Structures are given as C-alpha cells and as structure tokens.
Amino acid sequence: MSDKLTMLLDAPEKFRRLLVLSGAGISAESGVPTFRGGGTSTVWRGMPFEQLSSVEMVEKDLPLVWEWFDYRRGIVAGCEPNAAHLAIARAQISGRFDAFTLVTQNIDGLHRSAGSTDLIELHGNIDQARCLSCNYLLDVAEIPEDERPPVCPDCFDSMRPNVVLFGEALDDDALLQAYESAAVCDVCIVVGTSAVVYPANQIPVIAKREGAVIIEVNSDETELTAFADFSIRGKAADVLPTILGDEVN
C-alpha cells in the first residue's frame, strides 16, 4: 500500500466520514459468483443475466424469473460473509467514524449476515417477494417452494422477487440517501464492482466532485481505476481488513 494512502488511513482527522460502495466482487470469496468477471457476462439457460434480470422478463416469463432467482438463492444459502464483510461491519460500530454509510449493489444479504445495519441495499434483497399489484412484501422462506409464482396473501395477484431489475427505477429514497452520503463523505471506498451499472456508478462520481478521496479495491482494473485516487489491486477479503484496521480478523 502506498505511503500516501497509509498516511491518509492513519490520519483520523482526514478519514472521519466514510462511505463504502460494494458490488458483487466483495462476495466472490464467499462463493457468490460475480456477473462480469474475466470479461465475460454471466449466462444461464443460454440467456445473459441482464436479460434474465430485466423488467421485461417479469412481464414475459415470471415463472422463469423465479427459477433464476431460486437458483441464485440456492447458491447464496450456502455462503457465509467473508473477512471483507466482517471488517465493514466492525468499522461501522468501531466509533472511529463520525459518519459511516454502507451502500451495496448486492442482493445476497451477506452484509446483513456480517452484522452491518442501516445499510442501503440499492438493488433490493433476494430473500423477499413483492406483490405485482399491492407491493405486499413476504420473505421467500415463508412461501412453499412449489408455489411459483407466489400468490399475494393480501390481494391474490402474483408476486415477483423484491429486487431492482434492469430497466426499472431504483427506490428514490434509497438513491437520494446514498447520493447525500456521497456528497459529504471524506473517503469513498469502492470495493468489488465493475462500476458499469447506472445509477450506482454515480456514487463515487458525486463523492469525488464534492472533494472526497476515492479508494478502489478490486482484483482487476475497472472503468473506475483511472478516476480513483488510489486503486488497490487485490482481493476484498485481504485488503478491507487492512485498510479498515481490522487485521485481527
């Protein structure tokens, strides 16, 4: 790690308000596949994931959308938070920061399992279903596995996964909260994201515009690398404990 970055991380007065933005790469070492690793995009049943996870697919083939999310939930069920998730959860309660915001693009729930609270799950949460008509929310675990698509217990319409799909807007409040935190943070750590998905990829742009230091943690170069003040090449589970002072982990 460069001396300049070490000095920053050791200078508490310059590192009091932290925003962490995470993407699929933070969960890679937990066993959750990423979407665009190695320059290829995830394909399932012959379809690219951007098509499977699109709002059009909900209208076109809701049962297939449930098969796709049931498949992914099966993978996530066997995964545990890794040292990166734990370091972020510990940093939040360390008392070291005047302001601490965690924004994740992930729907795998591993930050919550690691103990993070008040996090902003920009793209929703794989463990919930939402009614197409009345927005009734239900934990998928409460729905019989053969009830696909699930039936809303309130209005009896079909239910869909409670995630933000390509082609649909994010929750306004969640996005506004993320942007407001980005505008006031001193340091924005961007970990495990290819930074290609809009509008989440605007968070480091806002942070930098308002004077924050951008630290990227990624195993590869990304579209953000040239833009970041520091780009640490490495695995999230190795790097995050170091930069968040959680080596004990």
Q: What is the closest distance, in whole angstroms, from the C-beta atom of residue 54 to ligand BV8 in the complex?
A: 8
Enumerate the β-bridge partners of residue 13.
Answer: none
From CA 116, how far away is CA 138, in angstroms rounded? 22
Closer Cβ to ligand BV8, 12 or 199, answer by number: 199
Q: Does 231 bind ligand BV8 (CB under 6 A)?
A: no
Closer Cβ to ligand BV8, 7 or 196, answer by number: 196
Q: Does 120 bind ligand BV8 (CB under 6 A)?
A: no
Closest listed residue to residue 191, CA positions, set 217, 160, 226: 217
Closest listed residue to residue 125, CA positions, set 162, 89, 160: 162
Q: Under rule CB under 6 A, how many of the chain's residues touch ligand BV8? A: 36
Report CA-CA distances (Å) from 196 to 64, 201, 202: 25, 6, 10
Is 85 an active-site residue?
A: no
Q: Which residues of 142-178 are buried (b: 16+ CB within 10 A; e: fewer)?
A: ebeeeebbbbbeeeeebbbbbbbbeeeebeeebbebb
Tell me the window of 3-11, 12-20, 100-108, 113-121 that interacts with ligand BV8 (CB under 6 A): 100-108
Q: What is the closest distance, in whole angstroms, from the C-beta atom of residue 127 to ligand BV8 in the complex?
A: 13
Closest listed residue to residue 189, CA positions, set 238, 141, 154, 239: 239
Closest listed residue to residue 224, CA positions, set 179, 188, 193: 193
Residue 194 DSSP symbol:
-
Q: What is the closest distance, in whole angstroms, from the C-beta atom of residue 85 to ligand BV8 in the complex?
A: 12
Closer Cβ to ligand BV8, 90 or 160, answer by number: 160
Tell me the window of 5-13, 129-137, 138-146, 216-224 that interacts with ligand BV8 (CB under 6 A): 216-224
Tell me the window of 13-21, 22-30, 132-140, 149-157 that interacts with ligand BV8 (CB under 6 A): 22-30
Q: Does 168 bind ligand BV8 (CB under 6 A)?
A: yes
Choice among 36, 85, 90, 123 that is catalytic? 123
From CA 118, how far away is CA 3, in angstroms rounded? 33
Residues lying near ligand BV8 in the complex (CB under 6 A): 23-25, 28-29, 34-37, 50, 53, 105-107, 123, 163-169, 192-194, 196-199, 217-220, 222, 235-236
- Catalytically annotated residues: 123
